Chain A
Amino acid sequence: MDTIAKAHGEDQHDHPHGWRRYLYSTNHKDIGTMYLAFALLGGLVGGVLSIGMRLELMHPGLQFFHDSHMFNVFTTAHGLIMIFFMVMPAMIGGFGNWMVPLMIGAPDMAFPRMNNISFWLLPASFTLLIISLFVEGEPGAPGVAAGWTIYAPLSTTGHPGPAVDFAILSLHLAGASSILGAINFITTIFNMRAPGMTMHKMPLFVWSQLVTVFLILLAMPVLAGAITMLLTDRNFGTTFFTPSGGGDPLLFQHLFWFFGHPEVYILIVPGFGMVSQIVATFARKPVFGYLGMAYAMVAIGGIGFVVWAHHMYTVGMSTAVQAYFVVATMVIAVPTGVKIFSWVATMWGGSLEFKTPMLWAIGFIFLFTVGGVTGVVLANAGVDRSLQDTYYVVAHFHYVLSLGAVFTIFAGWYYWFPKMSGYMYSEPIGKLHFWLTFIGVNIVFFPQHFLGLSGMPRRIADYPDAFAGWNLVSSIGSYISGVGALVFFFGVAHAFMRKQRAGDNPWGAGATTLEWTLPSPPPFHQYNELPLIK
């Protein structure tokens, strides 16, 4: 097979080599690889920032930061980087670009040149965000400390320096990148499926990408509008969010969360798709309830647009409005439950093989359920009144995102690494990575529930001595996770140095999607003859 791959590759003399191959790339696999590499870089920077925060919070008092401003610059950058420069590039740009065309039997994306632009907007965007860390934000202090939510007026009058402007422009570029990517995916999935690949035969990963990119198409422009208003409020004297001119800062919160809530589904739904592929592969069974799984994602995405004010229970809404948002939010647990139970049912009676991708997938199912349950707790307006802005919220969204989304990324990474690189990773190193991370992140985030319940607020650099115990435990957990990340990078390097051939399909009969019919790595251009799906 290897020789066939080479032969295919040598047929294609029309593509540039060296740095031009990547800078000018219009190849979905090369662009996907660049997205993944970019996400690794983003994850590294975001991860270093988070360990910086845990170092500070390890003991009461200020040890590493001179003031809370700089600490909040870290929290802000950590959030923005992990969302826009790690999870989204990895899941949508990386795995999406690589696998969607392969899985639907398409030769490439519909608009290859636009795909190139989508990627190359991201380094520019990331650069702007990094610049924002070093220019003045609050008077006399560098960086944006307004949180990833950049609420006005803290992000307007509270940050007179240009740091927020840089961050806003960074988000504009990241948003443009993901909107262009979304248009590309929609066109590809609608128009370029191989003969016989009907919508209801598409692998669930493709379904998950389709739902995700529709969420991007709906939500991202609203963020673009809201932050443009922030920008003009800051620089051109408009008063969208300024009471003195008749504006209302609360409007920003509504606009932000109209984007923000779908955004968290943008971060997790591709993971649902990956986990479905992986669980089916390693249980050697087709996924249980295929249509239910597909439409559960559609339902989650749809309902995700009508629940935004559950992030804002404390702003003074009437009981009736709060009751609506409570109920709507809890309804999301129903399609989510459909997914969880279907994964379990897929494993039930299956011929289970606990390879590294499967460990990550099962770890995801467990941890995402924990985060989902605390989400239902927080959905209650009455409970939220006491838990708003505490570490309970931090624990909740890290269980669904840091442990949920990131676990699916690693699951997908180990699952498709042999296909993408052609090399097999080392199982023992992969499993060590999994167990270190699983233990580490649980030690980080489980105690944060206790801290939140006893009232420790988010976004503070210092805290009363009463919170010292669990903060110490939490910090130790983050160092264990950090070691896990090092094992991951070592494992990647090890796989590339060992060069153990993976073969077309290292996973056996359970892996039924089209990408496993191709050589590993796939030829530069695949499907010169379109596959026919029965």
Chain B
Amino acid sequence: MGMSRISPQRRRDVLVAGACGVFVAAMIGAAYAAVPLYNWFCRTTGFGGTPQVATAAPADILDRKLKVRFDANVAGGLPWRFEPEQNSIEVKVGEVVTVSYRVVNESARETVGIASYNVSPPTVGAYFSKINCFCFTDQRLKAGETRDMAVVFFVAPDIVKDSEQDGVETITLSYTMYPARQTEPVRGENGAAAGRS
């Protein structure tokens, strides 16, 4: 059927429907575009307790003191023991601090893990900056190996300018060790266990 047999009315219908179809495709695209955008948004603004990555220490150290608690978890499917050296410390705002976490591979095989991290309350993410962290890279541990891993962080001095953070006395830095890059589908070898333990 050639174009000549399509009535002008029909052409208008196809035009409107086509525009709607393009729109639907664009919205599906937008849903997928939200994934990198959300990731970028969290990293940039500290939204949802996403700590910042810093390359240099802040210029000044303030008198305000905060308690920083350290939390360590191991997700199912990873035969590791994982704990902070100290449960909590007092830091001055702007002071660069190094703390250590210890991880032990309790199994008889080499395993690879990577830590996810965030801080609580979620609104201090923008002011919690890490200069270095074991969570930036995969950790590969031989059978039975023990490793001490460092986190270098500071609480950014800008926190005192944000009135919403005035009531904050304690910040909790939390890590969860996962088996590195789950390539199996969820119902694979570490399926049910992963969600439940």
Contacts and interface: CB of A to CB of B under 8 A. Distances in A.
Interface in B7-54: 9, 12-13, 16-17, 20-21, 23-25, 27-28, 30-32, 34-35, 38-39, 42, 47-49
Contacts of B20: 182-183, 186-187, 217
Given A158-B195, A179-B24, A190-B16, A316 B48 contact: yes
A236 interface: yes
B35 A316 contact: no
B17 A316 contact: no
Interface SS of A by simple majority:
helix
Interface stretch (A64-72, A238-246, A404-412, A470-478): A238-246
Nearest to A321: B47
A157 B186 contact: yes
B48 A217 contact: no
Contacts of B176: 243
Contact of B13 (A110, A217, A222, A240): A110
Given A243-B178, A245-B182, A318-B123, A191 B9 contact: yes
B55 interface: no
A139 B182 contact: no
Interface stretch (B60-68, B94-102, B114-122, B147-155): B114-122
Contact of B17 (A139, A183, A220): A183
A153 interface: yes
Interface in B170-197: 176, 178-187, 191-192, 194-196
B164 interface: yes
Interface in A213-238: 217-218, 220-222, 224-226, 229, 233-237
Interface size class, chain A? 35 or more
A198 interface: no
A244 B181 contact: yes
Nearest to A234: B186
B75 interface: yes
Contacts of A318: 123, 164
Nearest to B126: A318
A156 interface: yes
Interface in A365-404: none
25 contacts: A157-B192, A160-B195, A183-B21, A186-B16, A186-B20, A191-B9, A191-B12, A217-B23, A229-B31, A234-B187, A235-B185, A237-B185, A239-B182, A240-B35, A243-B178, A244-B179, A245-B181, A246-B116, A248-B42, A248-B48, A255-B34, A316-B123, A318-B123, A318-B164, A320-B164
Interface of A: 110-111, 139, 153-154, 156-158, 160-161, 179, 182-184, 186-187, 190-191, 217-218, 220-222, 224-226, 229, 233-237, 239-240, 242-246, 248, 250-251, 254-255, 315-320
Closest 7 CB pairs of A and B: A225-B31, A157-B195, A316-B122, A244-B178, A221-B27, A160-B187, A243-B116
